[in-house]
Chain A
């Protein structure tokens, strides 16, 4: 099974509407969870991360995510999106095996905000 799964490859949404981008993880990853955003022709930028503590994590640009252990999920949400949020979003986690330090990424979700 894939370590980090993003269930939606494309999410179109109208401006000012709420959005949820889904991410599920497997037991093969450590429970340190990250969301990165990639704007066109740019590198990845960290949106937010969950390490421990409160299960609701707030990030930059009004995004938040909730860690749900029972559902092995870390869905990303924003209550009202802007055109500038159009980008590709990646959920990631480090592998839990051995001395792994690298991140394993989901396949990405392209968020397109429509006027």
Chain B
């Protein structure tokens, strides 16, 4: 079956503009995660969704970052008033449910470049 997909694959924007990144999880996966990967670094957790529960937003770096998910489907990560330090690869992952031992399946990422 299809894996996790993300769009766009690349996004170049100007400082101060808003961007929206999209993630399509694997069908049937109730948990969805967003991570950020800066050049040469590991992944930083941003936010996760589990079914209809309130999302865990503890990793969002500032109030310019927000994410939405409707039910168990598509999620969008929005970055408002982008800054150069927002440049990174944004990775989405999904799993059957949000438990510690479940494998997370990752999408190919969106490479964001803020000029």
Q: Mark A1-31, 1 if CB is under 8 A from B, else 0.
A: 0001010010000000000000000000010
Q: Confirm or deny: B65 has a beta carbon within 8 angstroms of a beta carbon on chain A.
A: no
Q: Confirm or deny: B79 has a beta carbon within 8 angstroms of a beta carbon on chain A.
A: no
Interface size in chain A (residues, C-beta < 8 A): 28
Q: Would A90 and B50 be within 8 Å (CB), given that A101-B56, A101-B99 are in contact?
A: no
CA separation between A106 and B43, bound complex, in Å? 8
37-62 of chain A: CB within 8 A of chain B: 41-46, 49, 51
Interface size in chain B (residues, C-beta < 8 A): 27
CA separation between A26 and B98, bound complex, in Å? 22
Chain B interface SS verdict (over half)? loop
| A46 partner residues in chain B, CB cutoff 8 A | 103-105
Contact for A42 among B31, B103, B108, CB less than 8 A: B108
| A49 partner residues in chain B, CB cutoff 8 A | 101, 103
CA separation between A44 and B41, bound complex, in Å? 14
| A90 partner residues in chain B, CB cutoff 8 A | 42-43
Seen from chain B, the residues whose Cβ lies within 8 Å of a Cβ on chain A are: 3-4, 31, 33, 35, 40-43, 45, 48, 50, 56, 59, 91, 93, 98-101, 103-109
